Structure 1
């Protein structure tokens, strides 16, 4: 018999480095998700990966043994598309990125174009060439708003890191003198959208991630509780470099003590 009950909380869970690493689930992540389901604790997967659709990501998790519905995932591409649709319904965008970003924009009524765009939207990807950058620079110079799905300078891969959205958009910023507006973590736009998706108040929301300058920073700025897990690429000594701190540091999801979000049943 379980002697604990959960407080009214919900979890925003980063994916790469928290749930899985490469093509393998991180030890303890499946058990942690099972515990949340057992106690009806809401959760949402949150990722700054704009390349894949949430259906793609849900299938990846399911094939790893963690059955997941697409609705349980919020990507920075979806957050960006929703934000742009709210600001300019039926707007147009020149896109640097891959299918996940283009599909999200299409679903939210933003038309992808090659010229006369309202927005230049930059995500990450491996098919980007200098011609894309050149066209983006010209469109921004003509007045298109520069939007970044996120400002991560690198992306982790099985072979190591590669340039991320932040590195790509930096070229356009440098050439135009225009600073991009970013929607992904740690932006309040995505962090607030995620909290509202699981229907919780600020003080009920816990962000779990493996990166200080996106996951933990986003949580601190929004007033959420935060957990830094060391199962990704951040080491405990790295935390000393930052003025802000997570509420908890754990080895992995499996290392988060129940007392952090569960309370003893009254006698």
Structure 2
């Protein structure tokens, strides 16, 4: 692409890009350190909604990637901000884990005492989901709660392989209740792009988004006018990436985040 263009801001996906479960992707920490040494701005953008920014910051620090909590944009924090700004009086019932509850509480979101008292059902990834919890969520919607979801991803790249994500649970609730989620905040939504660009303090044309998901990361970049790099360390193979429709293809394709330094050096020649 683009002759002398080089990005000043980098929006990095987490699962499958920076790490896989508790294991960092080879070269990720070194690449992020290199970007920072060049004065580049870096934010992390993830559809994870079952963890808080504090939890994510601690995970990254353990991998040798220090950062401020404000540099981490998760669907848990974006959904919390949405509720605070647009529905401050809503009482919510959560189908999710403690990380989401922590982020909601940090933003002053109110919790319903019983499912039938909820104005909103917030749905996110729940890795220890029980039938009783799913049924409570079902009953909240039956009693009138509207559904807000962190994302619709079907799967995510875990440490031991591909794992089921929020989309399947959300589909089950929508099917059982006949009620569709009216708000989904995760990538590729404009809300996630705005949050990342606001933190970077840069316009979209000066940024590059790097991620492993064509449907989330690359689609977000296409919609927001942000150039894109797809890494093959997560959810797609090279064959799958090369079979993408021309309009959906990334601007660059990398084996992993470790190749980003080489790409940046090529841009600057």
User: Among 254, 258, 266, which residue is 2:264 paired with?
Assistant: 258
Number of corresponding residues: 259
Query: How far has the Cα of 1:259 moved from its partner?
Result: 4.5
Task: Give the Cα separation in 2 of the matches to 1:162 and 1:16.
Answer: 11
Task: Give the Cα separation in 2 of the matches to 1:24 and 1:119.
Answer: 35
Deviations 1:206-227 (A, max 9, x none): 1100111111111111111010
Match of 2:118 in 1: 117
Question: Can you give the 5+ residue segments of structure 2 that lack an aligned partner in the other structure?
Answer: none
Matched, 1:80 2:85: no
User: More displaced, 147-156 or 98-107?
Assistant: 147-156
Please tell me whether the aligned partners of residues 48 and 150 of structure 1 are also in contact (alpha carbons under 8 angstroms).
Answer: yes
Deviations 1:129-163 (A, max 9, x none): 22222232232233321111111112333333333
Secondary structure at the aligned position of 1:168 is classed as helix
Match of 2:194 in 1: 192
Question: Can you give the 5+ residue segments of structure 1 that lack an aligned partner in the other structure?
Answer: none
Please tell me whether the aligned partners of residues 6 and 39 of structure 1 are also in contact (alpha carbons under 8 angstroms).
Answer: no
Task: Give the Cα separation in 2 of the matches to 1:141 and 1:194.
Answer: 35
Task: Give the Cα separation in 1 of the matches to 2:46 and 2:196.
Answer: 11
Describe how 1:203-218 pairs up with structure 2 within 5 A. Answer: 203-218=205-220
Secondary structure at the aligned position of 2:268 is classed as strand
Mark the CA change 1:255 to 1:159 in structure 2 (over 3 Å): closer, same or farther.
closer
Matched, 1:227 2:232: no
User: More displaced, 116-125 or 175-184?
Assistant: 175-184
Query: How far has the Cα of 1:99 moved from its partner?
Result: 1.2
Please tell me whether the aligned partners of residues 90 and 109 of structure 1 are also in contact (alpha carbons under 8 angstroms).
Answer: no
Secondary structure at the aligned position of 2:216 is classed as helix
Task: Give the Cα separation in 1 of the matches to 2:7 and 2:28.
Answer: 21
Query: How far has the Cα of 1:205 moved from its partner?
Result: 2.1
TM-score by length of 2: 0.89
Match of 1:161 in 2: 162
Over aligned residues, Cα RMSD in angstroms? 1.9
TM-score by length of 1: 0.90
Please tell me whether the aligned partners of residues 219 and 226 of structure 1 are also in contact (alpha carbons under 8 angstroms).
Answer: yes
Task: Give the Cα separation in 2 of the matches to 1:7 and 1:21.
Answer: 28
Task: Give the Cα separation in 2 of the matches to 1:128 and 1:74.
Answer: 24
Please tell me whether the aligned partners of residues 52 and 102 of structure 2 are also in contact (alpha carbons under 8 angstroms).
Answer: yes
Task: Give the Cα separation in 2 of the matches to 1:20 and 1:135.
Answer: 33
Describe how 1:140-159 pairs up with structure 2 within 5 A. Answer: 140-159=141-160
